[in-house]
Amino acid sequence: MTQAVMARHAGEPRKERSGLRPGQRVFVWGSLIPIFLYLGVFALFPMVWVVVLSFFNYSPVRVGDGPLGLGGRNPFIGLDNFAAMFADTRAGQIFRISVKNTLIFAFLVLVVNLAITLPLAVLVESVHNRVKGLFRAIYFLPTVSSAVAVAIMWGYVYHPQQGLLNNFIKLIGLTPPKAWLTDPSAFVFGVPLAMIAVIIAYVWMDFGYNLVIFIAALQGIPHELRDAAHIDGATGWSEFFHITIPLLRPTLLLVCTLTMISSFQVFVIFQVMTGGGPQNQTRSLTMEIYENAFRYQAMGWAASMSLVLFAMVLIVTLVQFRILRTDWEY
Amino acid sequence: MSAVQLAASSSQQTPHRRRSARPLVCLLVYAILLLGLAVTLVPFIWILLTSLKPASEIVRIPPTFFPERWTLDSYRTIFTDPKVPLARFYFNSAFVAISRVLITLFTSSLAGYIFAKYTFRGKNLLFGFILVQLMIPFQVVMIPAYLILVQLRLIDTLWGLIIPSMVDAFGIFLMRQFISTFPNDLLDAARIDGAGEFTLYRRVVMPNLGAPLATLGIFTFMATWNDYLWPLIVITTHERRTLPLLLTWYTSQHGQRYDLTMAASILVLLPILVVYIFFQRWIVRGVALTGMK
């Protein structure tokens, strides 16, 4: 051991470049080889396999004669799965509806979420330190709660007769909708009412994340900047739009990306609250993938749809990198 | 407009008076914050109160907010239901969550340490693979992951919920970032004292990882405890259900009995709320630090 230490000291400048001593080699590769063998099976293989599956008409209930159950009765069909996405069939239509729903959901969630969290973060940041922590802790509470329990809870909140929301609306003298989650003919600005209801429940559940991130970012803004703005005569509003928002740009970008990407993947709240109904108005892409893969066992078709989900996530991520690279504010 | 400008110009001269000079604004701020608080808490309070009502009071229209007669009947019904061995379901959820936490903390800290403190051939390539992993949503790879579990005969077992997520790319990334700031001198001093590399990891690195390990551990615990999609795919036997699965099953059995379904929801929410109350600081700080989602 001491010899190894001596050797290392003798070869100090070399060590940085050319890597490991024998003892270290055993430790590093002894640890990394199992970890990456594992990742090869549970991370790399699934990534490759989902692409392969998307070129097959594969179902696990049929036995193919090739490797891993492919071939034979699970035939290679080229790009047919992707062509089916644009075809005028029932499956193609529902797929397109689910993509549209997912995009509407993600976009509206982002807008509503930012409209709430950004001003709320400024307000929380402005109050006394002692209550600030309390507000933040309670606002964050829904995000740690079980999504299933929250979805069941909101299903009851939206109950047409017994629900909290409709009775509150009646209490303040307005006419509530006759059903929040099951009426296919109810729209608000062209968006199905059931979708609006799911968006409200989801934003309620999720806004704590962005709020906490924004509060942390606001605390990072140097006080000198605000003081300088005050001396120049900036009011609350102009301070918000000309000092706070520009300085929050990197955070804002991160938050937008994370919110978009996680909204693309929402499953529980749709599945439990509406089951995709009424008339597929709240069917999301992840629900569509889940149902085709595990209820109808159409895994080739579902694999090609999950590649579309991946493409959506990838596009948002790349756009973020692009903006970050071209747009250094400070 | 002019009033706002006036307020601004007065604050310009005496910045100390700014807060006290605008009690109305201050009041408005607190009013909005309290409204937000109410919107956040009222649904929770309402389902708690619903779970404490007798079955006859649930169906009343308009509903009561506070129970007219307080009762624990709904909880008693659930506890004595032979089809709902609650201890079993709590055990399932706890077993899966705690196993995943322990394994994730071990693999993340080990790999994070190696990527932070050692130089070797292929390091950038391997770490690049970890970064790519961060971008892949679970829903994209869940079909192959399921097929692998079928091959391994792990379908419908609790191990099937643990084994596919023993290495967490985000955990490795987080640990590497943290350990990078760790002073090399300390490691070298321990080496001179004759410590082997694994001893170094166990005795020197690990004891200094309290904060990030706590953060990663809590997040892994909550994510696993609340996970629904993967258990829904893997588990089919009733006794092996985790709590979220139990909750949707129970709701499907007792659709209109909101006293029962809300009591069941409270029972699922309660453990995670206790964890949250104890670790609230770590959790909120962790989110602020990492932008975790």
Report ipTM for this prediction: 0.87
CB A99 within 8 A of CB B247: no
Q: For residues A56 and A287, give the distance between their C-alpha atoms in angstroms, rounded to a whole number.
A: 21
- Band (B291; pLDDT cuts 50, 70, 90): low
User: Region A128-153: what's the mean pLDDT?
Assistant: 91
Q: For residues A231 and A239, give the distance between their C-alpha atoms in angstroms, rounded to a whole number.
A: 11
CB B59 within 8 A of CB B77: no
Nearest Cα to A47, choosing from B152, B132, B223?
B132
Nearest residue in A to B189, CA atom: A5
Dihedrals φ, ψ of A188, to 5°?
-125, 115
pLDDT in tens, A42-54: 999 999 999 999 9
Give the bridge partners for A74, in sequence order. A71
User: Region A115-119: what's the mean pLDDT?
Assistant: 94
- Band (B134; pLDDT cuts 50, 70, 90): confident
Orientation angle between helical segments A90-126 and A193-219, nearest 10 degrees: 40
Q: How far is CA B25 from the centre of its chain?
A: 36
pLDDT in tens, A6-29: 444 444 444 444 478 888 888 999
List, by residue range, all CATH 1.10.3720.10 domains of chain B.
86-290
Q: Structure tokens of B40?
A: 């956040």
Nearest C-alpha of chain A: how many angstroms from B145? 6
Does B7 score more than 80 pLDDT?
Answer: no
Nearest residue in A to B28, CA atom: A123
Q: How high is the pLDDT of residue B13? A: 39
- Residues in B touching A153 (Cβ below 8 Å): 43-44, 47, 262, 265
Q: What is the 3-class SS of chain A, one letter each residue? A: CHHHHHHHHHCHHHHHHHCCCHHHHHHHHHHHHHHHHHHHHHHHHHHHHHHHHCCECCCCCCCCCCHHHCECCECECCCHHHHHHHCCCHHHHHHHHHHHHHHHHHHHHHHHHHHHHHHHHHHHHHCCHHHHHHHHHHHHHHHHCCHHHHHHHHHHHCCCCCCHHHHHHHHCCCCCCCCCCCCCCCEECCEEHHHHHHHHHHHHHHHHHHHHHHHHHHHCCCHHHHHHHHHCCCCHHHHHHHHHHHHCHHHHHHHHHHHHHHHHCCCHHHHHHCCCCCCCCCCCHHHHHHHHHHHCCCHHHHHHHHHHHHHHHHHHHHHHHHHHHHCCCC
A154 touching B (Cβ < 8 Å): yes
- Residues in A touching B192 (Cβ below 8 Å): 5
Cis peptide before A160 (omega within 30 of 0): no
Interface mutation target, options B141, B166, B168, B192, chain A, most CBs of A under 10 Å: B141
CB B233 within 8 A of CB A154: no
User: Region A283-310: what's the mean pLDDT?
Assistant: 95
Nearest C-alpha of chain B: how many angstroms from A16? 7
Distance between start and end Cα atoms, chain A = 50
- Band (A178; pLDDT cuts 50, 70, 90): confident
Cβ pair A164:B42 closer than 8 A: yes
CB B46 within 8 A of CB A164: yes
DSSP letters spanning chain B: -HHHHHHHHHHHH-TTHHHHH-HHHHHHHHHHHHHHHHHHHHHHHHHHHHHTS-HHHHT-SSPPSS-SS---HHHHHHHH-TT--HHHHHHHHHHHHHHHHHHHHHHHHHHHHHHHH---TTHHHHHHHHHHHHH--HHHHHHHHHHHHHHTT-TTSSHHHHGGGSS-HHHHHHHHHHHHTS-HHHHHHHHHTT--HHHIIIIIIGGG-HHHHHHHHHHHHHHHHH--HHHHHH--SGGG--HHHHHHHHHHHSTT-HHHHHHHHHHHHHHHHHHHHHHHHHHHHHHHHH---
User: Region A290-299: what's the mean pLDDT?
Assistant: 94
Q: How high is the pLDDT of residue B227? A: 94
User: Region A185-190: what's the mean pLDDT?
Assistant: 87
User: Region A177-201: what's the mean pLDDT?
Assistant: 90
- Residues in B touching A141 (Cβ below 8 Å): 40-41, 44, 273, 276
Give the bridge partners for A188, in sequence order. A191
Q: Where exactly are the structural domains of chain A?
A: 2-53, 90-326
Half-sphere exposure of A138 (CA within 13 A, CB side): 18
- Band (A173; pLDDT cuts 50, 70, 90): confident
Give percent of chain B above pLDDT 70.
92
Give the bridge partners for A76, in sequence order. A56
Q: Structure tokens of A253?
A: 């970008």
User: Region B105-110: what's the mean pLDDT?
Assistant: 96
Q: How many CB atoms lie within 10 A of CB B162?
A: 20
- Band (B11; pLDDT cuts 50, 70, 90): very low
Q: How high is the pLDDT of residue B248? A: 94
Q: How high is the pLDDT of residue A130? A: 81
A137 touching B (Cβ < 8 Å): yes
CB B71 within 8 A of CB B53: yes
Cβ pair A204:B289 closer than 8 A: no
CB B102 within 8 A of CB B94: no
Picking from A120, A140, A235, the nearest residue to B284 by CB comes out as A140
Q: For residues B187 and B176, give the distance between their C-alpha atoms in angstroms, rounded to a whole number.
A: 15
Q: Report CA-CA distances (Å) from A186 to A106, A196, A197, A277, B219.
A: 20, 10, 11, 13, 39
Q: For residues A310 and B133, give the distance between their C-alpha atoms in angstroms, rounded to a whole number.
A: 12
- Band (A268; pLDDT cuts 50, 70, 90): very high
Q: Structure tokens of A264?
A: 């693309």
Q: For residues A185 and A200, give the distance between their C-alpha atoms in angstroms, rounded to a whole number.
A: 19
Chain A segment 113-132 residues within 8 A of B by beta carbon are 120, 123-124, 126-127
Q: Does domain A90-326 have CATH number 1.10.3720.10?
A: yes
Q: Structure tokens of A144?
A: 């740690």
Asked which of A236-245, B172-181, B276-285 is least confident by mean pLDDT, the reply is A236-245
Q: For residues B135 and B203, give the distance between their C-alpha atoms in angstroms, rounded to a whole number.
A: 33
Does A35 score more than 50 pLDDT?
Answer: yes
- Band (B293; pLDDT cuts 50, 70, 90): low
Q: How high is the pLDDT of residue B292? A: 58
Side chain identity at B152, as an amino acid letter?
L
Question: Which CATH superfamily, name and number, covers B86-290?
Answer: MetI-like (1.10.3720.10)
Picking from A60, A213, A230, the nearest residue to B12 by CB comes out as A230
Q: How high is the pLDDT of residue B3? A: 38
Q: How confident is the prediction for chain A on average, in pLDDT? A: 87
Nearest C-alpha of chain B: how many angstroms from A71? 16
User: Region B110-119: what's the mean pLDDT?
Assistant: 93
Nearest Cα to A236, choosing from B31, B16, B29?
B29
Q: Report CA-CA distances (Å) from A288 to A37, A51, A92.
A: 32, 18, 11
Give percent of chain B above pLDDT 90.
55
Nearest residue in B to A25, CA atom: B120
CB A102 within 8 A of CB A252: no
Q: Report CA-CA distances (Å) from A106 to A116, A190, B222, B229.
A: 15, 16, 24, 19
Q: How high is the pLDDT of residue A129? A: 79
Side chain identity at A70, as an amino acid letter?
L
